[in-house]
């Protein structure tokens, strides 16, 4: 009996076709620093000029179990943006400009059109972040993943001048917290989301998720849940340049409770005042579905705020205006006080 790699479940020709299909999308992300094309063994990127002491800032993350929603809905064009956002939004918290991104897709079977759709989302995210997609890997792993499922992760590198690193050391009592609105759950908490809404991957799930929900202003539950993570890189870099920022926190897993204290020195405490921004309907629906205490909601979800920045009190109005002019929805949500590192939500 003649055996081949294809007989074992791996189709190298499907891999070649995937590469052919994604070239168009990857090409749209190219920036001045890119020195290599798609298909090489390593992506090459030249450091930009103008930095006195350039420091590289890196971040890696995945989409997590939100991918289960993509499988159920058979919608794969936005999870790539989620993957990029989870990495570049972290990088910009140090004041760094993302330079390039690499993705990793592991799948049970390589369907070239599906892989191309996923990578299109990655490329869209890279364009939104102003970084180049300079490489990646698609691994066909039959027997490890179900035939119609995949995992998606990524890695990004940015740069900042050493003197301009934002590390929270400038935070002080009296600083104002400005929140930048999220556009949904983003990419954290989906194991709980799927449990609360009983999303098991059954045939009935897709029809149910596509039904309009009055509490979601007529959107379907699936539409609300699959909404991609917002990419904040360009407006935050503009805010750094025009106004100045003392600290930045990306509100991801752990919500407000875990993430905001990460940007603070030991002697500073955040006070977040509820009612100063709009909590998106999807969070109200989630809270009611599981009768979840609000303390747990703020310790799991972003609650309508995807990123928080601390600025000097006399710059708060300018910061809000700068962000809103850049197309974001920003508002003052609290302040910094003296005290032990932590957060009070009042």
CATH number at residue 341: 3.90.650.10
**Confidence class for position 160, pLDDT limits 50, 70, 90:** very high
pLDDT at 204: 87
Structural domain ending residue among the three candidates 164, 187, 217:
164
3-12, 58-67, 100-109: which has the minimum mean pLDDT? 3-12
Closest CA to 304 of 321, 282, 323, 285: 282
Kindly state whether residue 169 falls inside one of the protein's structural domains.
no
Neighbours of 131 (CB within 10 A): 26
Report the relative pairing of strands 150-161 and 176-181 from DSSP bridges: unpaired
- What domain range includes position 322? 176-345
Q: How far apart are CA 136 and CA 119, in angstroms?
A: 10
Residues 6+ positions from 299 with CB-CB distance below 8 Å: 254, 255, 256, 257, 258
**What is the rounded CA–CA span in Å between residue 55 and residue 300?**
32
Into how many domains does the chain fold? Answer: 2
Task: Round to whole Å and give the CA distance between 181 and 36.
Answer: 36
25 within a domain of the structure (yes/no): yes
Percent of the chain with pLDDT over 70: 98
Other CB atoms closer than 10 Å to residue 344's CB: what's the count? Answer: 12
For residue 114, the model assigns a pLDDT of 97
pLDDT of 141: 95
Residues 49 and 121 in one domain: yes
Condensed to tens digits (0 to 9), the pLDDT of residues 167-208 reads 999 999 999 999 999 999 999 999 999 999 999 888 889 889
Query: Where are any strands of DSSP class E within 63-161?
Result: 97-107, 132-140, 150-161
Candidates 105, 104, 89, 103; CA nearest to 158 is 89
More confident residue, 9 or 54: 54
In this prediction, residues 117-131 reach a mean pLDDT of 97
Q: Is the pLDDT of residue 218 over 90?
A: no
CATH number of 148's domain: 3.30.1330.10
Q: Which of 7-16, 127-136, 302-311, 318-327 has the lowest mean pLDDT?
A: 7-16
């Amino acid at each position: 009996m003649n055996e081949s790699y294809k007989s074992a479940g791996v189709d190298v020709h499907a891999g070649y076709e995937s590469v052919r299909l994604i070239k168009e999308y990857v090409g749209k992300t190219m920036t001045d620093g890119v020195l290599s094309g798609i298909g090489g063994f390593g992506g090459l990127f030249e450091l930009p000029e103008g930095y006195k002491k350039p420091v590289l800032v890196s971040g890696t993350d995945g989409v997590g179990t939100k991918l289960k929603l993509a499988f159920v809905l058979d919608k794969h064009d936005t999870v790539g943006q989620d993957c990029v956002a989870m990495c570049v939004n972290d990088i910009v918290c140090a004041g760094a400009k993302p330079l390039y991104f690499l993705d990793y897709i592991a799948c049970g079977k390589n369907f070239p059109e599906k892989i191309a759709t996923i990578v299109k989302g990655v490329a869209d995210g890279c364009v939104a972040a102003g970084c180049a997609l300079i490489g990646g890997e698609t691994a066909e792993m039959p027997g490890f993943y179900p035939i119609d499922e995949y995992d998606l992760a990524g890695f990004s590198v940015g740069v900042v001048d050493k003197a301009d690193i934002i590390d929270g050391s400038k935070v002080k009592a009296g600083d104002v917290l400005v929140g930048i609105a999220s556009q949904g759950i983003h990419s954290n908490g989906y194991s709980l989301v799927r449990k609360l809404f009983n999303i098991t991957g059954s045939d009935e799930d897709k029809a149910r998720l596509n039904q309009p929900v009055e509490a979601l202003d007529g959107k379907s539950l699936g539409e609300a849940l699959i909404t991609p993570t917002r990419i904040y890189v360009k407006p935050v870099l503009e805010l750094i340049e025009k106004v100045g920022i003392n600290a930045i926190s990306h509100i991801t897993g752990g919500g407000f409770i875990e993430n905001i204290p990460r940007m603070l020195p030991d002697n500073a405490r955040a006070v977040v005042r509820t009612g100063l921004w709009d909590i998106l309907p999807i969070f109200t629906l989630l809270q009611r579905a599981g009768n979840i205490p609000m303390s747990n909601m703020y310790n799991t979800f972003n609650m309508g705020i995807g990123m928080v920045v601390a600025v000097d009190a006399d710059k708060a109005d300018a910061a809000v205006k700068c962000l809103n002019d850049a197309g974001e929805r920003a508002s003052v949500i609290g302040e910094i006080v003296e005290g032990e590192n932590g957060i009070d939500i009042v």
